[in-house]
Structure 1
Amino acid sequence: MNSKVSFSAASRDYQAGRYTQSLATLNQLIDTQKDAKTYALLAKNLLQLGFKTDAAKAYGLAADCAGQGAYEFLKTAAKIHLEAGNEDEALLIAMRNLNKAQEDPELAFIIASIYLRRQRRDLLRPFKKVLSESQNPEHARLAALLLNDDLMDETNQTLARNLFRRYPGNLAFRFLYLVCVREFNEFDEANKHQAPIDAALAKNDIDILRKDNPFYHLHWCGNENYNRYATIGTKPLDPARVAHRRGLPHTWSDKIRIGYMSSDFWDAHATMKLLQRVLELHDRNRFEITLFDHTQPEYLEKNKTDRSRWGKIVDVYGLPDEAILKAVRAENIDIMVDLKGHTSGSRALSFNLPLAPIHVAWLGFPGSTLNVDLDYVIGDHSVLPDVAKPFYHEKFLRMPESYQPNDPANRPQPQPVTREQLGLPENAFIFASFNGNRKITSQVVDSWSRILKRAPDSVLWLMANTARNKENLLERFQAGGISPKRIIFCPRAPYEQHISRQQAADLGIDTFPVNGHTTTSEQLWGGLPVLTMKGTNFASRVSESLLRAIDLPELVAKDLQAYEDLAVELALNPERVAGYKKHLQEKRYIAPLFDAERFCHHLEHGYELMIARAKQGLGPDHIDVPALPPRTEPFGSNG
């Protein structure tokens, strides 16, 4: 057979749509002619006939024959393998061309989409820039999913800015860009690009919020009604599937089996600084505790604590949701508790599978975990008042004091420190904020400026993450008439040092609409009273919860004007602040806030009440856990 004639005939048949005839000719031709163009045409026919896996293999053979042109054939083979669901084959080809993948968005898309599905976010950093600069909208959408909450990572900053610059009309990318500029206190830029969103909301166009990230949305919006709409990256709950899960048969045992799921099971994480002692105190005669752990290996290497004290560890890092379901079912868990919600590294969406008879949200996310199948959210009467009930699909399990656990045993004790050691003025009244910089909005700075103007002998001690934050904050304070000399910046510090240095200030001053959460309890533990104001959603009510749990409700102002008035009043009457500091010293080991043992008893009672309803065949309903009698003696640092 004349090979030229045969290839031309096969090509004509392909162009005419006679794929089977073309394929038959090529199969004969390949016996004598193995070259790139023959294999490539073979692949095209196979693709048209629906044989994707065979087509991908044929493109691979074309690459073997193509010499310098092999890369395009390999890339095409990888793309088709991905479409066919052959992820391992696609990834193998792509990873062999890893250097090019950092410049070629098509290959980067293959690698990133596979690793994202496999929950391997730690491997995605090299592909953010090239995907965000691609002209392909699919690449841009994937790039947006690669953002993590480490905004100190320049790849995240570049990604957000590139996407918004390229697609300024895309609401999702606008919200993403606003996350970035808020992180660095770029107030003018944030207000400029927030303005169209505010204008739309003024016209009751609430649907635009569906493009916002549920977690970062809380940093600018304290409207509990609006918070329900920030649902990007989620799908509406199917009531039938929820009912199916609750109706599945379950074998209860003598002990209650609790499963906690998180990526934060290492001792230096803020979550474990709160939760560690409660996990240790769980009554093992009545409860079995299992930690479904998807902590990144790099963080586990930093852990110094024997994690077996917390419970049985089941490693689910990198597993798909179906494998997590299998792992949870193997432990016959009664109550699964998600500790992440809509925060970075979360696997909350796995709760949309029937993991356990009872699904619970707690601690990680300060709000309703939208579009995730959860029966209860653990809170208290401050963060979850009755007026919040219409805005949650979860039922409330309200603790009698604060929803936030605290660890008096493993948390370092504050040590004596002087203002001179810290470079602070001896005679000034020192306001302090150690909250994350993204929580400091232009409205917060303007409020603090008004306070400083009215309290002339005061200064503000402020933590700044970067030089950019410092520069932008100073510029806003100066615009508000405050001299830079009255703003004293400090960097982050090792935890033990941070706990001690806080007491050198006179008064902690809170942010809004997101309060200090762990930050506020750290300040109270360190002996620093904190001023806050009444909030309008969970995230803005946390400091009130903590202050009430240590018997300082008078430091919760009713509104912004009262907040500013009280700040000034306290600055002008430092003896009142000294009284609050003495109160914190006296109450540290007797008030509920740091009483891990009392908290654990309340939590376990809450779990028992949930179980009792489920065993009776009753659906979830709001539950208020009754309080134990008040302590009359200190509990001591060992709780």
Structure 2
Amino acid sequence: MRAIDLLIADLRAATADPPQAERAVRWREWMQSVTLPDILSLPARAGEVPNRLWLAEMLSSWLQVQGAGTPGAGLIWFNLGVELGRIDRPADAATAYQNALLLRPDLWQAAVNLANLHEATGDRNAAAGILASALQEDEARITLLNQRGRVLEAQRRLAEAEQCYYRSLLVDGDQPDVVQHWAFTRQNICAWPVFGPPVPGRTPDALRAQSGALATLSLIDTVAGQRQAVAAWLERRLAKAPAPTVRLAPAEGYAHDRLRIGYVSSDFCRHPMSYLMAELLERHDRSRVEIYGYCSSPEDGSDVRARVLAALDQRRLVRDLDDESVARLIRADEIDILIDLNGVTAGERLGVLRWKPAPVQATYLGFIGPVPVPELDYILTDEHAIPPHLAGEYWPRPLYIPGVYQANDSRPVPLPPVSRAAEGLPEGGFVFCCFSNAYKITETMFDAWMEILRRAPGSVLWLLADNEWAAANMCARAVEQGVDPGRLIPARRVEPSHYRARLALADLFLDTTPYNAGTIASDALRMGLPLLTLSGETFAARMAGSLLRAMGLPELITRDRASFVEQALRHAGDPAYHAGIRARTTPERWLATLGDTRAFAKAFEETLEKVAIRRK
């Protein structure tokens, strides 16, 4: 029998124990006659073996016998790195990959794996450096550019990441996942127009359709367009795992005295969703409902995380469980209505929903748009955010909460003292502001803001300084629009209490469209700051209007750019008019409407009761 066949026989008979000393001696004898092609074929020929450590030891034995620097050894070092990674020995794996690259600098797969190991330890600088040095002028270039772009994006080195993605698309424009990251990175740095740089063989419309779920909310203001783009993203996302062939929940439902509501989220941490949801979870009427939480959030030690977890009747920490395990846990808990709080945002667990672990499944708050997953029954909303005449265009279908869709937390927050001077604002003059993330700001909206500044002498625009490239691009655009960039005042990121307090220093919040402010809109109104919005067709373009209607401020809802600009100018130029609106935009009015969480919880529960499936 050939030596390679003897090695494979040993592997298939391997135990969980380390190889014995005499076996290692035998392997070294066999390695004398094992050729390079034979040893390279060993992992594939062995297949699944009881103990991968034995395979790693065999590869190491070959290198010792044949010579660690012998021709072709670079590939063996690479295979050894893969096996060491599989048995959770990352430091040894990194050494193997480094040796592989010393012998084969063109072995880009080793560079990718070594970079992944560094990234897993948090050393993204090392990861980016390895990927940069490994770039090749061949088919490997796309993979390395994409990998480096992703690492740079995670580091918030956004301009460099954008260039990596674009260079990759110049090689091959038909990469939907790269288009998605490229578009969103350009949105985040306010590189307008988003699809200005040409991609060979692709039109801007074709690129827009592949720009990913979250980016779509700022790029498309038609329900049909958003649904098509999200469906394409879901097809790519869900194609990575086959759909379950069974549905876990009984079609007839359960017979519980209290309705069991389960919330699934990766954002039970310091995240806007938790700040909105905390009091609703606390206010649920325990005589009517029982609350379960399926949490895959990071342990960030925040006060809001502790508060959310304390508000749950039953807590299930499922971050380390696969989708099927989470789904079967939900089924075992006999949840009546499962509410997904992520939609298609980061950390989503859509694979759990595919098992249909609850008779009724809905999505809420996390993603303000269509989520065309077949196993979702409803999207929780209100009749302004999704008008009934557009309900048929959405999937899942709308389930209307009376009044307003958005939950809020009315608990008072201690606010620090703030002043215009401390924030770098002029003491006099009208202060417009927008604290939404940069990716929500479109060039069309920004140009409308610049028209307002041109026509309102002495006014300034206070903007979140999200990143240096966005600030530079906005200043350059201001110059193009005939506005002194000094009138754009940067606002740094601060603690939540400071952020809320300083909202009261501005005069008027200028909303973004087609992706309105949501949590920030509610915070502004809570602090007595009027918000001017421009409502479009989609949920995302109507959510601020929903809040304004609930507070009885329909004058602040506009329908087109011209009326948006004129209304903003009226506030800046007519002190009596502005004072009248501000007198109706008070913390007390917010508390009686959007902040009435007790009434909201009751309406929320009654809405769920209408669609609950109960076994008689």
Q: Assess same fold via TM > 0.5.
A: yes
Check conservation: 2:372, 2:396, Cα contact below 8 A.
no
Distance in 2 separating the partners of 1:294 and 1:595: 29
Deviation at 1:244, TM superposition (A): 4.7
Aligned match of 2:174 in 157, 170, 174? 170
Provide the residue aligned with 2:20 in structure 1.
none
Which amino acid in 2 is paired with 1:289? I
Q: In structure 1, the residue corresponding to 2:30 is in which secondary structure?
A: coil
Provide the residue aligned with 2:428 in structure 1.
427
Provide the residue aligned with 1:97 in structure 2.
93
- Change in Cα spacing, 1:547 to 1:490, as seen in structure 2 (3 Å) is same
Provide the residue aligned with 1:252 in structure 2.
255
Deviation at 1:610, TM superposition (A): 1.3
Check conservation: 2:124, 2:155, Cα contact below 8 A.
no
Map of 1:539-550 to 2, 5 A cutoff?
539-550=540-551
Map of 1:189-200 to 2, 5 A cutoff?
190-193=194-197, 199=203
Distance in 1 separating the partners of 2:218 and 2:301: 26
Map of 1:32-71 to 2, 5 A cutoff?
33-35=29-31, 38=34, 43=39, 51=47, 53=49, 57-58=54-55, 60-67=57-64, 68-69=68-69
Provide the residue aligned with 1:440 in structure 2.
441
Q: In structure 2, the residue corresponding to 1:460 is in which secondary structure?
A: strand
Which amino acid in 2 is paired with 1:216? A
Check conservation: 2:149, 2:165, Cα contact below 8 A.
no
Deviation at 1:393, TM superposition (A): 2.2
Q: In structure 1, the residue corresponding to 2:29 is in which secondary structure?
A: coil
Residue range with higher mean Cα deviation, 269-278 or 90-99: 90-99
Q: In structure 2, the residue corresponding to 1:512 is in which secondary structure?
A: coil
Deviation at 1:348, TM superposition (A): 2.4
Give the share of equivalent positions with the same residue, in percent. 25
Aligned match of 1:381 in 357, 380, 383? 383
Which amino acid in 1 is paired with 2:548? L
- Change in Cα spacing, 1:376 to 1:108, as seen in structure 2 (3 Å) is farther
Check conservation: 2:380, 2:400, Cα contact below 8 A.
yes
Provide the residue aligned with 2:19 in structure 1.
none
Check conservation: 2:508, 2:529, Cα contact below 8 A.
yes
Number of residue pairs matched by the alignment: 578
Deviation at 1:159, TM superposition (A): 4.7
Query: Is 1:405 the counterpart of 2:407 in the alignment?
Result: yes
Provide the residue aligned with 2:283 in structure 1.
281
- Change in Cα spacing, 1:237 to 1:247, as seen in structure 2 (3 Å) is farther
Deviation at 1:212, TM superposition (A): 2.5
Residue range with higher mean Cα deviation, 250-259 or 336-345: 250-259
Check conservation: 1:36, 1:62, Cα contact below 8 A.
no
Q: In structure 2, the residue corresponding to 1:359 is in which secondary structure?
A: strand
Distance in 1 separating the partners of 2:548 and 2:63: 71
- Change in Cα spacing, 1:457 to 1:37, as seen in structure 2 (3 Å) is farther
Q: In structure 2, the residue corresponding to 1:360 is in which secondary structure?
A: strand
- Change in Cα spacing, 1:338 to 1:55, as seen in structure 2 (3 Å) is closer
Provide the residue aligned with 1:476 in structure 2.
477
Distance in 2 separating the partners of 1:155 and 1:605: 47
Distance in 2 separating the partners of 1:194 and 1:599: 48
Check conservation: 2:533, 2:558, Cα contact below 8 A.
yes
Distance in 2 separating the partners of 1:595 and 1:216: 32
Which amino acid in 2 is paired with 1:610? V
Provide the residue aligned with 1:514 in structure 2.
515
Query: Is 1:182 the counterpart of 2:187 in the alignment?
Result: yes
Deviation at 1:220, TM superposition (A): 1.6
CA deviation map 1:584-605 (0-9, x unaligned): 2275355421111111001111
Structure 1 unmatched runs, 5+: 1-5, 14-18, 82-87, 618-639
Which amino acid in 2 is paired with 1:227? Q
- Change in Cα spacing, 1:450 to 1:423, as seen in structure 2 (3 Å) is same
Q: In structure 2, the residue corresponding to 1:598 is in which secondary structure?
A: helix
Provide the residue aligned with 2:348 in structure 1.
346
- Change in Cα spacing, 1:167 to 1:282, as seen in structure 2 (3 Å) is same
- Change in Cα spacing, 1:567 to 1:166, as seen in structure 2 (3 Å) is same
Deviation at 1:145, TM superposition (A): 12
Check conservation: 2:60, 2:80, Cα contact below 8 A.
no
- Change in Cα spacing, 1:419 to 1:94, as seen in structure 2 (3 Å) is closer
Distance in 1 separating the partners of 2:533 and 2:188: 22
Which amino acid in 2 is paired with 1:234? R
Map of 1:140-539 to 2, 5 A cutoff?
140=143, 147=150, 151=153, 153-154=155-156, 158-168=160-170, 169-172=173-176, 173-187=178-192, 190-193=194-197, 199=203, 201=205, 211-230=210-229, 231-232=232-233, 233-235=236-238, 244=247, 248=251, 250-266=253-269, 268-298=270-300, 303=305, 305=307, 307-371=309-373, 373-409=375-411, 411-412=412-413, 417-539=418-540
TM-score (norm 1): 0.79
TM-score (norm 2): 0.82
Distance in 2 separating the partners of 1:602 and 1:242: 36
Query: Is 1:555 the counterpart of 2:536 in the alignment?
Result: no
Distance in 2 separating the partners of 1:78 and 1:160: 31
- Change in Cα spacing, 1:298 to 1:387, as seen in structure 2 (3 Å) is same
Distance in 1 separating the partners of 2:387 and 2:147: 35
- Change in Cα spacing, 1:589 to 1:37, as seen in structure 2 (3 Å) is same
Which amino acid in 1 is paired with 2:266? S
Distance in 2 separating the partners of 1:96 and 1:315: 32
- Change in Cα spacing, 1:92 to 1:254, as seen in structure 2 (3 Å) is same
Q: In structure 2, the residue corresponding to 1:97 is in which secondary structure?
A: helix
Which amino acid in 1 is paired with 2:60? A
Provide the residue aligned with 2:18 in structure 1.
none
Which amino acid in 2 is paired with 1:61? M
- Change in Cα spacing, 1:325 to 1:334, as seen in structure 2 (3 Å) is same
Which amino acid in 1 is paired with 2:58? L
Structure 2 unmatched runs, 5+: 13-22, 102-106
CA deviation map 1:386-419 (0-9, x unaligned): 243233221211111221111011x526566443
Distance in 2 separating the partners of 1:338 and 1:122: 30
CA deviation map 1:179-232 (0-9, x unaligned): 1122112226x351379899463xxx6xx5553311122222222211122232
Distance in 2 separating the partners of 1:480 and 1:529: 26
Which amino acid in 2 is paired with 1:540? A
Deviation at 1:488, TM superposition (A): 1.8
Q: In structure 1, the residue corresponding to 2:381 is in which secondary structure?
A: strand
Q: In structure 2, the residue corresponding to 1:38 is in which secondary structure?
A: coil
Check conservation: 2:409, 2:597, Cα contact below 8 A.
yes
Distance in 1 separating the partners of 2:243 and 2:108: 40
Distance in 1 separating the partners of 2:128 and 2:251: 42
Q: In structure 1, the residue corresponding to 2:521 is in which secondary structure?
A: helix
Distance in 2 separating the partners of 1:71 and 1:512: 54
Q: In structure 1, the residue corresponding to 2:513 is in which secondary structure?
A: coil
CA deviation map 1:343-368 (0-9, x unaligned): 11221232111221111100010111
Distance in 2 separating the partners of 1:114 and 1:607: 46
Distance in 1 separating the partners of 2:121 and 2:384: 36
Distance in 1 separating the partners of 2:388 and 2:87: 51
